[in-house]
Amino acid sequence: MVLLALALLAAAGSFVATQRWAFAHDKLHARHASPALKPQPASPETLHQLRAAASEQRVAARAPFAPGTQLLVAGAAPRLERTAIRTISAPSAILVDANTGAVLWAKRQNQRRPIASTTKIMTGVLALEHLPLTKILRINPLVTRVALNREGLRARERVPVWKLMYGLLLFSGNDDALELAIATSGSRGAFLRLMNEKAHELGLRKTHFTSPSGVVDRGNFSSAYDLAALARYAMAIPRFRAFTSKRIARVRWPAPTYGKTYVNKNQLIGTYPGADGVKTGWTTLAGHCLVVSARRGGKSLIAVVLHSPNPYGDTRRLLNFGFANS
């Protein structure tokens, strides 16, 4: 009986000690716990920023066409091939219905040619598909030494992607192209692999890239047909179209620059009714290359001319012809 009483007393003491420890532990935990969060209404500015960020991510994540979609309707003669059209001076050219992908008129459409800065269409597409526009990039020092046309990015300055897109698609900066390439894939070489993988994915059989900017002609080529297909894909991305349709963009910049003005090198923007893209290009070997897009009412056309002695005259004639006959 004595032993039983001692056991009961020991058990009771253990229970009391356990309860005291638990109570003290809960108080200590409560003392260091974060205060209860109370829901706070978001300001209109915050909501706008969140919605913009979400929209950017949705656009970047969503391809404008389902995988395997045939971007241009091939295999048949161009629908307007026998319709009279004034002479097109470019040795290679094409006119496409951007709504359906139908080829309306063509001249040596599958001939491989150097394409100069029209290469930046692919660079812009991949940047939009992989980088949020608001992402801040720290400019790689290699970018400041890129050849020829540069907007003047400074090593290690911090620039958001959307500003570089203006430099890429309006000013045609080779430094913008290289920075976006490195930011997208980690290196220039990795980005070139991504460019060629994307070209294969889109069915661009006459296309190969050796430069994110087009400053290098050797091994960097495409065809009028492939560029029209790529332009149809790019112009179906709302963010891409928003950049290429701008005639002038005035952008604030940190000191000591303070501000930059980008003027679209595509002279049809603001001068040809309905023109909304896409990209110019020139090198000695490639000559003048021009990919243009225009919309009127329900009609949407894409024209491409390569190595043209009169790129704007050629594309105007193609677009006028398309709007009049399609």
Give catalytic residue positions.
117, 120, 172
β-pair partners for 305: 93, 290
Angle 110-211-64 (CA atoms, 0-180°, nearest 5)?
Answer: 65
47 phi, psi to nearest 5 deg:
-60, -40
Minimal CA–CA distance to 314: which of 83, 93, 79? 93
Helix, strand, coil % over all residues of the chain, rounded to 5: 45, 20, 40
β-pair partners for 35: none
The identity of residue 49, as a single letter, is Q
Q: What is the dihedral of CA 145, 147, 148, 154, to 10 degrees?
A: -20
Distances 38 to 21, 43, 45 between C-alpha atoms, Å: 31, 15, 20
CA distance 279 to 301: 14
The SS3 call for residue 63 is: coil
DSSP state of 167: I
CA distance 63 to 52: 18
For 319, the enclosing helix (H) or strand (E) is helix 311-325
Neighbour tally for 281: CB within 10 Å? 25
Q: 263: which 2 tokens?
A: 């003027």
Instruction: Give the helix ranges, DSSP H, for 33-142.
Output: 44-61, 120-130
Minimal CA–CA distance to 217: which of 160, 284, 274, 262? 284
